[in-house]
């Protein structure tokens, strides 16, 4: 489930569509929450061997910690990559805004958080774009993502959270415990099995 104050917009023919804020969304806001309407495809699904579906799945799905391919049922599947992403996927089943988003700002993720591929080409408009993702990037970058998530979570209790009802109950409980005590943080590291 994508944050309600976002919209789908056409960017350009190379990038295609992207997801943009329609109103101010402060850092610390849940931008996307994994929800029961998302489609989960097992890695053993025959759909992944079917040429009619395989490319669509690989294009639109992200992969989660249990190895499934998840296709967001709404505009979440159009969120683009950025090497300086505005949202970071957490260990709690949601993505969090790591900086304030003004109306018109793009919601982006670092695809290195989502892919099981050995490597993947990356495109963003930053001059220091990494250009390519390899599996090693996850191990190198997850401490940085954890720092970003922890900083954003400090603001979590003070900002509107329209997606909070969609959090998985166990994750929500773990999050409340962390926010209350500073202990038991669920690292981004848990998103990958290697
Ligand atoms: Zn880039």
Domain for residue 121, yes or no?
yes
**Number of separate domains in the chain:** 1
Domain for residue 80, yes or no?
yes
Distances (CA, A) of 120 to 90, 130, 137: 21, 11, 11
- Nearest Cα residue to 108 out of 117, 95, 91: 95
Domain for residue 1, yes or no?
no
Per-residue pLDDT band at 193 (split at 50, 70, 90): low
- Domain containing 98: what range? 6-191
Q: For 33-58, how does the pLDDT look when each residue is reduced to its tens digit (9 = 90+)?
A: 999 999 999 999 999 999 999 999 98
Distance 138 CA to ligand 1 centre (A): 15
Distance 130 CA to ligand 1 centre (A): 5
Per-residue pLDDT band at 134 (split at 50, 70, 90): confident
What percentage of residues in the chain have a pLDDT greater than 70?
A: 98
Per-residue pLDDT band at 14 (split at 50, 70, 90): confident
Lowest mean pLDDT segment, chosen from 94-103, 133-142, 162-171, 173-182: 133-142
Domain for residue 151, yes or no?
yes
- pLDDT score of 18 more than 90: yes
Per-residue pLDDT band at 194 (split at 50, 70, 90): low
pTM of the model: 0.94
Domain for residue 161, yes or no?
yes
Q: What's the distance, CA 170 to chain centroid?
A: 19
Domain for residue 156, yes or no?
yes
So what's the pLDDT on residue 135? 81
- pLDDT score of 149 more than 80: yes
Domain for residue 23, yes or no?
yes
Q: Which neighbouring-strand residues pair with 65?
A: none
Distance 129 CA to ligand 1 centre (A): 3
Distance 100 CA to ligand 1 centre (A): 20
**What is the DSSP secondary structure assignment for residue 176, as one 8-state letter?**
H
Q: What is the CATH number of the domain that holds 166?
A: 2.170.270.10
What percentage of residues in the chain have a pLDDT greater than 90?
A: 80
Domain for residue 162, yes or no?
yes
Burial class, 90, CB count within 10 angstroms (exposed 0-12 / middle 13-18 / buried 19+) = buried
């Amino acid at each position: 489930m994508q944050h309600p104050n976002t919209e789908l917009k056409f960017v350009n023919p190379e990038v295609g569509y992207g997801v943009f804020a329609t109103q101010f969304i402060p850092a610390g806001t849940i931008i996307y929450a994994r929800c029961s309407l998302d489609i989960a495809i097992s890695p053993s699904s025959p759909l992944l061997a079917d040429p009619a579906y395989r490319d669509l799945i690989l294009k639109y799905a992200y992969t989660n910690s249990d190895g499934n391919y998840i296709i967001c049922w709404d505009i979440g599947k159009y969120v683009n990559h950025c090497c300086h992403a505005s949202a970071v996927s957490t260990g709690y089943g949601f993505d969090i805004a790591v900086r304030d988003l003004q109306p018109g700002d793009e919601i982006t993720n670092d695809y290195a958080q989502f892919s099981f591929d050995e490597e993947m080409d990356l495109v963003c408009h930053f001059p220091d774009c990494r250009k390519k993702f390899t599996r090693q990037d996850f191990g190198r970058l997850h401490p940085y993502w954890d720092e970003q998530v922890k900083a954003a979570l400090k603001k979590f209790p003070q900002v509107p959270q329209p997606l909070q009802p969609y959090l998985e109950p166990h994750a929500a409980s773990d999050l409340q415990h962390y926010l209350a005590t500073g202990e038991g943080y669920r690292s981004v590291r848990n998103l990958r099995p290697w």
